[in-house]
Amino acid sequence: GGGSNSGDSNEGTSENNSENTEETIVVGASSVPHSEILEEAKPLLEEEGIILEIEPYEDYVFPNDDLASGDLDANYFQHIPYLENTIEDTGYDLDYIDGIHVEPMGVYSQSITSIDEIPEGTEVILSNSVAEHGRILTLFEQNGLITLDEDVKKSAATLEDIVENPKELEFSADVLPEILPEIYLSEEDALVVINTNYALGADLNPLEDALFIEGSESEYVNVIAVRSEDTENEALQTLVDVLQSEEIQNFILEKYEGAVVPVGGNN
């Protein structure tokens, strides 16, 4: 069902976390790794007197809509640039509390083993999720493969903003992100840009197999987004705290073998 007991009601949140003042928070999340991480955090939150309800989302539009409309108390699926884009597009009064993790974007290929060996005209296959395109292109720019239009915000760049492409890479951005590992296996000569968490599923070791990969200091940190008025909400603060706790960070590191990098705690 929809976000029950949602809204801005913060009454009853007490600093003592007494057992009879339990509060429910509803958090929208995409599948991997967000909802997995939230599930892990559930029992920890319960100890704090907070009941966590996870609302699964399959797309990237509705979770922000629902957050803005009040159906959700928070969502956990997006990185900061995407959130900013959405706010710009819609005027939603959203903000985030803090970052939780980074899913570094990696570029893989079966036949090509180093950046220098990339032949001219190689096809680059990337996710059809436009939200990721700026990020991916930036990665390519950082690795000296292309140059982007300087007037465009990096995080919002699209394929059309490529001004220099010396290797004449052919970008095809039309595949569902979670199918990319299969594409990697089948299209031997192409460069495939895969989110690390999906790469794991295909038994790739991002740290070893990737041709090049984002660093953990990437600005594409996945955050807990909330309505602006809730940034100080204690229950949500607690959620962030728990997600940034050592226990969860260890879980992330273990489960994703370093492919999902926990952030926060240190800032």
Site of interaction with other proteins (CB under 8 A): 1-3, 30-32, 35-36, 55-62, 66, 71, 89-90, 125, 128-131, 172, 174-176, 178-179, 182-183, 186-187, 200-202
Min separation Cβ 107 and other proteins, Å: 17
For other proteins, the closer of residues 13 and 77 by Cβ is 77
Min separation Cβ 208 and other proteins, Å: 19
- 39 close to 53: Cβ distance less than 8 angstroms: no
User: CA 77 to CA 221: how far, in whole Å?
Assistant: 10
For other proteins, the closer of residues 92 and 220 by Cβ is 92
For other proteins, the closer of residues 129 and 147 by Cβ is 129
Min separation Cβ 183 and other proteins, Å: 6
For other proteins, the closer of residues 18 and 90 by Cβ is 90
Min separation Cβ 16 and other proteins, Å: 32
Min separation Cβ 258 and other proteins, Å: 17
- How far from 101 is each of 27, 78, 189, CA to CA, in Å? 16, 10, 31
Min separation Cβ 94 and other proteins, Å: 14
For other proteins, the closer of residues 16 and 121 by Cβ is 121
For other proteins, the closer of residues 14 and 31 by Cβ is 31
User: CA 112 to CA 190: how far, in whole Å?
Assistant: 8
Produce one character per residue of 58-92: b if its CB has 16 or more CB atoms within 10 Å, e if not. eebebbbebbbeebbbbbbbbbbbbbbbbbeeeeb
Look at the block and give the residue holding tokens 């007037």: 151
The tokens of 235 are what?
């229950």
**Amino acid in the structure at residue 129:** S
> What DSSP line would sit under 17-59, residue for residue?
--GGG-EEEEEEE-IIIIIHHHHHHHHHHHHTTEEEEEEE-SS
